[in-house]
Chain A
Amino acid sequence: MPANLEANLHLTDVLPHAADELSALAQKVATKAVDFFYGDHQALHGISLGMPIHRVTALIGPSGCGKSTFLRCLNRMNDMIEDTVVRGEILLDGEDIYRRGADVVELRKRVGMVFQKSNPFPKSIFENVAYGPRVAGIRDRGVLNEIVERSLKQAALWDEVQNRLRDSALQLSGGQQQRLCIARALATGPEVLLMDEPASALDPKSTAAIEDLIFELKETYTIVIVTHNMQQAARVSDQTAFFFEGQLIEVGATNELFTNPREKQTEDYITGRFG
């Protein structure tokens, strides 16, 4: 199969470079042998994954593979679910976020989250974005105005809403609501942004807007995104991790993983043979 061989040769030419570049970066978030249990059910088995700083890491895999559970471990949102246990280490800048005495509230300010279904508060656009800074204790009107404007600009929503900041956030379209949720997450000044299928409920145009946004945001933030959409993972991410049945099957530079997967299961999944 000369064509195949040629493709492989071509890839080996390019890909180690991408992988080297990723491994040379500092790991903003790193997990070590993380197990996760919902009661008696073990949802994650020994996940060790490093997420390089100012890069996008995509988590892919079929429904129920544990990728969302893993994502929610990174800002301890699973704490809110009763009867769950986390084992192993999750390091943010080298510090275990599950260590005794760790401040969950402080953690969530540093690790923002955007959910699958946009969930704006039933308040004005302004109040939605200002909520994070407000609960963090910022009262000064001028400072709040500044944060709201900057966050909405970062989320590419400012031009559309600058004249209607007092309107209810629920009057916005689905795509706008999701960008508002991103702006809201940015307003607390996070370092890491977790996105749980942020575009799965949106039309193609809004999806493209979100993807462009992710591309710009990674300049400033470290992004971890869960997605069902393989093309999306290929488009927006630098590193991709494939989860299957609670295991981390394979992780690598995105173009490498998609063009030359090491594992059979990864190949079957990305070529659409299952999932």
Chain B
Amino acid sequence: MSLVQRSNGRPYAKLASNLFAIFCGTCMWLCIATLVLLLWNIFSHGWGRVSFDFISSPPSIIFPEKSGIRPALGGSIYLIGLTALFSVPIGVGTAIYLEEYAPNNRWRTLVQTNIANLAGVPSIVYGILGLGLFVRALNLGVSLVAGALTLTLVILPIIILSAQEALRAVPHSIRTASHALGATRWQTIWHQVLPAALPGMLTGVILALSRALGEAAPLVAIGAATYIRNVPSNMFTDEFGALPLQIYNWTDHSDKDFHVAAAGAIVILLTVLISMNALAIVLRYRFSKRIQW
């Protein structure tokens, strides 16, 4: 009797609740299944191809089984190193200015909104900007520096936003306490705020660099080499390749054996990406162990 009365008002409430839970669960499993399928597909094709020779040999136009990724991997590593060199100081500096110095006015809001919007701009657009600005106007040519500067444009908004987030997470009472002890603004930022924000910043930086590592479109746009025999030795003049470009080049090939090489290169790319993410987690853990609120 009481049961009937209670369910009278919303007879389908419990059913709707269960259906919704099932729907959400299905979505999650779809995601996982897709990911597993993708990884299985790549690893089953490419794993057999991964070897020391594969990593240390240059690619070949004619022999897929002799092809390696040395120039592409080398190019990618240089590219990420340079990108980090350009993007981290600029990104962290911008974040510190916006969070710690900029007065809270309309101008700041405008800049803030624009940075958030820039994070959503497709990377190919930055590629075209990089082609016009770095390759041509600044006459850097299709070089590692031009490529790294272009990738810097791509990931700068992400680095700024994540660094701001990390700075905002530092309790305000720490800044107040530091100022009350006669510390200058710079001393407060350097001795208190930055060490506390470092774990969060590092995570953001590494995730942004992972994104840069996987980018092909902006590099294609500035005209980076999809086929190259050597690791670049001069960052201002030499042509360069990158792993995503090598993969793109091989998957486009008519010879099916090159697709296997592409799968092998993807395995390497994924390994590097996962290692970078693992590093982010380890660093965050180690730094946050030192700083406990």
Contacts and interface: CB of A to CB of B under 8 A. Distances in A.
Interface of A: 75, 77, 80, 82, 105-106, 108-109, 112-113, 115, 117, 119-122, 131-132, 134-136, 168, 170, 181, 184-185, 188
B177 interface: yes
Interface stretch (B168-176, B220-228, B241-249, B269-277): B168-176
A119 B176 contact: yes
Contacts, number: 69
Interface in B260-293: 290-293
A112 B184 CA distance: 15
B177 A119 contact: yes
Interface string B155-188: 0000000000000000101111111111110010
B180 A112 contact: yes
Interface of B: 103-104, 171, 173-184, 187, 191-192, 196, 290-293
A82 B104 contact: yes
B262 to A, nearest CB: 48
Contacts of A122: 174, 196, 290-293
29 contacts: A75-B180, A77-B176, A77-B179, A80-B175, A80-B176, A82-B104, A106-B182, A108-B181, A108-B182, A109-B182, A113-B180, A115-B180, A119-B171, A119-B176, A121-B177, A122-B174, A122-B196, A122-B291, A122-B292, A131-B178, A131-B181, A132-B182, A132-B183, A135-B178, A136-B182, A170-B292, A170-B293, A188-B181, A188-B182
Majority-rule SS of B interface residues: helix
Contacts of A120: 177
Nearest to A128: B177
Nearest to A105: B182
Contacts of A106: 182
4 smallest CB-CB distances across A and B, nearest first, come from A119-B173, A109-B182, A132-B181, A113-B180
Nearest to B170: A122
Contact of B174 (A121, A132, A184, A185): A121
Contacts of A188: 181-182
B103 A80 contact: no
A130 B234 CA distance: 48
B65 to A, nearest CB: 56
Nearest to A106: B182
A135 B180 CA distance: 12
A108 B177 contact: no
A108 B179 contact: yes
A115 B181 contact: no
